[in-house]
């Protein structure tokens, strides 16, 4: 059992003001794997005060020097990557090989991308002939509160803490109470990399405690949040009192448009992408819209792929998917499967209950519903589990209408052999990102949604810009 009650504040691990224990449950064994503390207002205030005190010096540190210090976090990661992956695996259930190859590697991937993008930031830009004495200076916004979820825990910390520090902001991270262990290791990496005291702080806690204390704190200039749409709305309201900048990465209900001319691997690729991380990805292609002429054949193929996906313990090696994060998530997913059945969708594979041979662990069978009708609950709501809905469509217009008829707008997908059609659809789909034919976004690009999927752009220069203010100066020479 890991016991880590302290918080990282002002460059040191300090005991909570009022110890309030929280047990982190290993979703594979259903046993506690760690005890942490949930912070209260005194802890949040101390962390914000440390960040506020550290801000002037960090903001004044030359950008190149900030980049040099932040880059050293990678050396710490490399020295402890196995331990880092084990922390992710035990707390949120990602199988260890996947935690090592995909989850943990988000840190070096995003850090090195941000370090490249950082070189493109023009800290002071004269506006040229049309405004000869005007310039725009880019300045860090101040103390930022970073609130992250449990599903890709390192990914989300890297997408926020790295650009915040590069930009010259100081931060207080409140990771998900379900996945605090990798976050605490990230604090250790910062410490050992020589990030100055107060620049990065961490306080564990829940949403109603530390989360809402950060969102209402007068000395916090900005909240960068990733999580559910429900919490994003609450955070927007709470932050309005102090008019903070609020950057939101929220839920999704991605549509994946599969046309008859899609390549042979399109169905397999899409189902695997859906089931990856046990379906707990905001950008999961959870609605597969298939051109009617290949619909039955596509259902058959999708079922064969889903049935070939193994489910197993997070600590075992292999390419299986693990349990979902906790009991309430498991129950919520079961509720959605029941709804799908009740509302008349065709259960093509998977379904209710634990997979055969398991009697504990929060495992969900990879599940596919066919003949899902637009408007059914499993078509509308984010399930956040390995459950995919298949829907036939008749033509492009029909497909776009179904795809866009959702409050969400994070990632949509297109599978077609016709590049002109793919390009056309990319502009018609209402989402922050469109991914075509399995080509994932490149290193310099961003992640982010529209509508109720939020309004953040994380990654590339956009991800650093989120933490900067532009100041217009006239009379500059
Ligand atoms: P959640 O909203 O329950 O919690 C996320 C974080 O917010 C946690 O740290 C939690 O403690 C905190 N929180 C909750 N309520 C709060 C409040 N009122 N004030 C301040 N903080 C609060 O989400 P979750 O269950 O941890 O994660 C799953 C959700 O996250 C899904 O909806 C998923 O789609 C979304 N997500 C989105 C992205 C994206 O980039 N768009 C990425 C990953 C996850």
As for the ipTM of the complex, it is 0.95
Tokens of 397: 């217009």
**Is residue 155 lining ligand 1, measured as CB closer than 6 Å?**
no
| % of the chain residues with pLDDT over 70 | 100
Q: How confident is the model at residue 104 (pLDDT cuts 50, 70, 90)?
A: very high
Residue 173 has pLDDT above 90, yes or no: yes
CA distance 310 to 82: 23
Nearest Cα residue to 236 out of 454, 458, 462? 454
Give the distance (Å) from ligand 1 centre to CA of residue 444. 25
CA distance 451 to 430: 8
**Is residue 232 lining ligand 1, measured as CB closer than 6 Å?**
no
Q: How would you class 115 by CB atoms within 10 Å of its CB: exposed for 0-12, middle for 13-18, buried for 19 or more?
A: middle
Give the distance (Å) from ligand 1 centre to CA of residue 382. 13
Q: How confident is the model at residue 444 (pLDDT cuts 50, 70, 90)?
A: confident
pTM across the whole model? 0.97
Q: How confident is the model at residue 443 (pLDDT cuts 50, 70, 90)?
A: confident
Question: pLDDT tens-digit profile of 396-432?
Answer: 999 999 999 999 999 999 999 999 999 999 999 999 9
Segment 356-372 mean pLDDT: 97
Segment 215-231 mean pLDDT: 98
Q: How confident is the model at residue 221 (pLDDT cuts 50, 70, 90)?
A: very high
Q: Nearest residue CA, atom 42 of ligand 1?
A: 282
Nearest Cα residue to 106 out of 182, 174, 193? 182
Task: Give the number of other CB atoms < 10 A from CB of residue 221.
Answer: 21
**Is residue 250 lining ligand 1, measured as CB closer than 6 Å?**
yes
**Is residue 212 lining ligand 1, measured as CB closer than 6 Å?**
yes
Q: How confident is the model at residue 69 (pLDDT cuts 50, 70, 90)?
A: very high
**Is residue 231 lining ligand 1, measured as CB closer than 6 Å?**
yes
CA distance 459 to 447: 6
Residue 130 has pLDDT above 90, yes or no: no
Q: Nearest residue CA, atom 16 of ligand 1?
A: 207
Segment 435-461 mean pLDDT: 94
Residue 150 has pLDDT above 90, yes or no: yes
**Is residue 384 lining ligand 1, measured as CB closer than 6 Å?**
yes
Nearest Cα residue to 37 out of 156, 155, 174? 174
CA distance 244 to 236: 9
Q: Which numbered atom of ligand 1 lies nearest the CA of 458?
A: 40
Residue 9 has pLDDT above 90, yes or no: yes
Q: How confident is the model at residue 440 (pLDDT cuts 50, 70, 90)?
A: confident
Extended beta strands in 222-336, E state: 222-226, 245-249, 255-258, 287-291
For a mutational test of ligand 1's pocket, the pick from 231, 281, 446, i.e. the residue with the most ligand atoms closer than 8 A to its C-beta, is 231
Question: Could you give phi then psi for residue 469, rounded to 5 degrees?
Answer: -105, 145
Instruction: Output the average pLDDT for the chain.
Output: 97
Task: Give the number of other CB atoms < 10 A from CB of residue 438.
Answer: 14
| Residue-level pLDDT at 19 | 80
Residue 187 has pLDDT above 90, yes or no: yes
Active site residues: 249, 282
């Amino acid at each position: 059992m890991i016991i880590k009650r302290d918080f990282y504040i002002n460059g040191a691990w300090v005991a909570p003001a009022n110890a309030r224990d929280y047990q982190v449950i290993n979703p594979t064994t259903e046993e506690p794997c760690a005890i942490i503390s949930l912070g209260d207002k005194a802890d949040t205030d101390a962390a914000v005060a440390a960040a506020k005190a550290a801000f002037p010096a960090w903001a004044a540190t030359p950008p190149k020097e900030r980049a040099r210090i932040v880059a050293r976090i990678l050396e710490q990661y490399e020295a402890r990557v196995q331990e880092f992956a084990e922390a992710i695996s035990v707390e949120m259930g990602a199988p260890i090989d996947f935690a090592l190859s995909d989850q943990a590697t988000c840190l070096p991937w995003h850090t090195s991308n941000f370090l490249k993008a950082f070189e493109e930031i023009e800290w002071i830009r004269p506006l040229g002939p049309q405004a000869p004495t005007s310039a725009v200076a880019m300045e860090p916004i101040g103390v930022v509160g970073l609130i992250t979820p449990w599903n890709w825990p390192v990914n989300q910390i890297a997408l926020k803490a790295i650009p915040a520090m590069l930009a010259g902001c100081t931060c207080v991270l409140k990771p998900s109470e379900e996945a605090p262990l990798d976050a605490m290791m990230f604090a250790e990496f910062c410490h050992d990399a020589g990030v100055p005291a107060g620049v990065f702080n961490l306080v564990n806690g829940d949403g109603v405690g530390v989360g809402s204390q950060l969102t209402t704190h007068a000395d916090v200039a900005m909240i960068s949040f990733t999580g559910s749409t429900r919490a994003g709305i609450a955070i927007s309201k709470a932050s309005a009192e102090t008019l903070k900048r609020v950057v939101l990465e929220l839920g999704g209900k991605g549509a994946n448009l599969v046309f008859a001319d899609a390549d042979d691997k399109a169905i397999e690729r899409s189902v695997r992408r859906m089931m990856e991380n046990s379906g707990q990805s905001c950008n999961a292609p959870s609605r597969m819209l298939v051109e009617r002429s290949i619909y039955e054949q596509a259902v058959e193929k999708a079922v064969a792929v889903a049935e070939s996906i193994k489910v197993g313990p997070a600590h075992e090696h292999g390419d299986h998917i693990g349990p979902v994060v906790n009991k309430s998530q498991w129950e919520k997913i079961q509720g959605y499967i029941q709804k799908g059945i009740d509302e008349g969708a065709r259960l093509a594979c998977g379904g209710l209950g634990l997979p055969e041979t398991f009697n504990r662990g929060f495992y969900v069978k990879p599940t596919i519903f066919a003949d899902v009708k637009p408007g059914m609950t499993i078509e509308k709501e984010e399930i956040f589990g390995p459950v995919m809905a298949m829907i036939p469509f008749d033509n492009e217009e029909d497909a776009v209408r179904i795809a866009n008829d959702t409050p969400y707008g994070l990632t949509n997908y297109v599978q077609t052999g016709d590049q002109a059609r793919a390009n056309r659809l990319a502009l018609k789909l209402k989402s922050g990102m469109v991914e075509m034919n399995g080509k994932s976004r490149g290193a310099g690009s961003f992640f982010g949604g529209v509508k109720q999927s939020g309004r953040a752009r994380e990654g590339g220069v956009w991800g650093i810009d989120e933490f900067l203010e532009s100041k217009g100066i006239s009379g500059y020479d």
